[in-house]
């Protein structure tokens, strides 16, 4: 386009188009550079590396404290195992000696059907960490199931030194019966001393065993009044333990019943308070210790026979087997049951045997030998107050 003077205007459109093209090229090149930078940023290790979360920032001491609380309150081994398999860090910290030392009895309740070398190793680690429950459980398993008498007794002794009442009472039963040895290996005084220590710690079975020992003069000087006091204390503690867990038992009133059987040597005239009897109130049996449950399951899987000519304790919650023939003493009335201790006799008497016991003049042993003598090593005698008292000549 020309002006009046004949001067031509510059081609604006062309310039604008050229400028736009240049701008567009610049923009496109900028976009390309930006996209290139963005691509490179995706491959940068700064963004591809794993970012640590809050769990990784927690100190080990805090996690160990949490695991200690968990192991002490675990209701089964699975509760603790589920935590260990969560991640490698928890799996490593879960085997810390402080965590294993706080493990509860229910966490250590290994089933006999699941027994393996790894379970044995885990209990050994807990015992080495100072867990008294693991020492007792593994000691019982080694002594009675694996027949490693020395190692099992030493583990129970380790727990007994730490004032573990079940270990003290189990060692007392071993001393009374001479388990793992011969009849001449019995140490009645040592058994009474161990029982007294467990009774001082409030162990109900030890209180009842010590009461009968004092009444009968078994391993200690006879003191009937003191023995009766221990029996009443055992009955009261047993009733209190049941009522604290199941208060509804108080309203039933069945625990106050006291029904003497007609074939007892010294029947009691009328009725009386069951707290004053040798066997206490008719309350539900207490929950067995995981170690006793393991023994029961272990020998049940073997047909209920621990060995040739050997017998199990007739109390279903005990599981202890004989370590030699005629180690346990029998009921002198029927001869069909045998017990490792007076405590097992007391529980089985009021739970089951009281309704089944029938007098037999002569009863035959499994070998066909007559074993009807009341005053033998394996005999029981009947006492006053609707109770049976174990006696040994």
Mean pLDDT across 275-292: 75
Mean per-residue pLDDT of the chain: 77
pLDDT of residue 386: 37
Higher pLDDT, 365 or 235: 235
> Is pLDDT at 209 greater than 80 in this prediction?
yes
Q: How confident is the model at residue 77 (pLDDT cuts 50, 70, 90)?
A: confident
Mean pLDDT across 314-343: 88
Residue 308 lies in a domain: yes
Residue 331 lies in a domain: yes
Residue 238 lies in a domain: no
Q: Of 30-39, 71-80, 268-277, 289-298, which range is least confident? A: 30-39
**Which residue(s) pair with 380 in the sheet?**
390
Residue 338 lies in a domain: yes
pLDDT of residue 389: 39
Q: How confident is the model at residue 175 (pLDDT cuts 50, 70, 90)?
A: very high
Residue 124 lies in a domain: no
pLDDT of residue 239: 82
> Is pLDDT at 47 greater than 90 in this prediction?
no
pLDDT of residue 251: 54
Residue 27 lies in a domain: no
Residue 327 lies in a domain: yes
Q: Which domain holds residue 336?
A: 290-355
> Is pLDDT at 356 greater than 90 in this prediction?
no
Through-space distance between the first and last CA atoms of the chain, rounded to whole angstroms? 143
> How many domains does the chain contain in total?
1
Mean pLDDT across 131-136: 95
Residue 91 lies in a domain: no
């Amino acid at each position: 386009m020309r002006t009046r003077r004949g001067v031509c205007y510059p081609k604006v459109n062309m310039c604008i188009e050229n400028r736009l093209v240049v701008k567009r090229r610049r923009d496109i090149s900028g976009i390309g550079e930006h996209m290139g930078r963005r691509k490179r940023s995706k491959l940068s290790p700064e963004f591809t590396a794993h970012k640590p979360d809050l769990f990784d920032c927690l100190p080990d001491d805090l996690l160990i404290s949490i695991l200690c609380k968990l192991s002490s309150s675990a209701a089964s081994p699975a509760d603790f195992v589920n935590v260990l398999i969560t991640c490698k860090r928890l799996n490593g910290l879960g085997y810390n000696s402080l965590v294993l030392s706080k493990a509860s009895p229910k966490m250590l309740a290994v089933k006999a059907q699941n027994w393996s070398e790894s379970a044995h190793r885990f209990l050994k680690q807990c015992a080495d960490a100072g867990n008294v429950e693991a020492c007792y459980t593994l000691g019982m398993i080694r002594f009675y199931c694996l027949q490693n008498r020395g190692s099992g007794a030493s583990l129970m002794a380790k727990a007994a030194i730490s004032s573990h009442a079940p270990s003290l009472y189990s060692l007392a039963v071993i001393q009374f019966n001479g388990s793992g040895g011969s009849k001449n290996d019995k140490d009645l005084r040592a058994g009474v001393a161990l029982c007294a220590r467990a009774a001082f710690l409030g162990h109900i079975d030890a209180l009842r065993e010590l009461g009968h020992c004092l009444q009968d003069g078994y391993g200690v000087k006879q003191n009937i009044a003191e023995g009766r006091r221990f029996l009443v204390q055992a009955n009261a503690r047993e009733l209190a333990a049941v009522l604290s867990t199941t208060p509804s038992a108080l309203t039933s009133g069945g625990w106050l019943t006291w029904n003497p059987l007609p074939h007892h040597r010294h029947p009691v005239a009328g009725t009386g308070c069951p707290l004053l009897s040798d066997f206490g109130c008719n309350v539900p049996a207490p929950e067995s210790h995981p170690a006793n449950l393991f023994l029961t399951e272990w020998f049940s899987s073997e047909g209920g026979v621990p060995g040739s000519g050997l017998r199990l304790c007739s109390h279903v919650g005990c599981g202890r087997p004989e370590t030699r023939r005629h180690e346990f003493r029998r009921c002198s009335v029927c001869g069909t049951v045998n017990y490792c201790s007076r405590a097992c006799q007391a529980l089985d008497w009021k739970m089951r045997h009281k309704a089944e016991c029938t007098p037999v003049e002569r009863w035959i042993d499994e070998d066909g030998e007559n074993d009807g003598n009341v005053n033998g090593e394996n005999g029981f005698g009947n006492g006053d107050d609707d109770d049976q008292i174990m006696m040994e000549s």
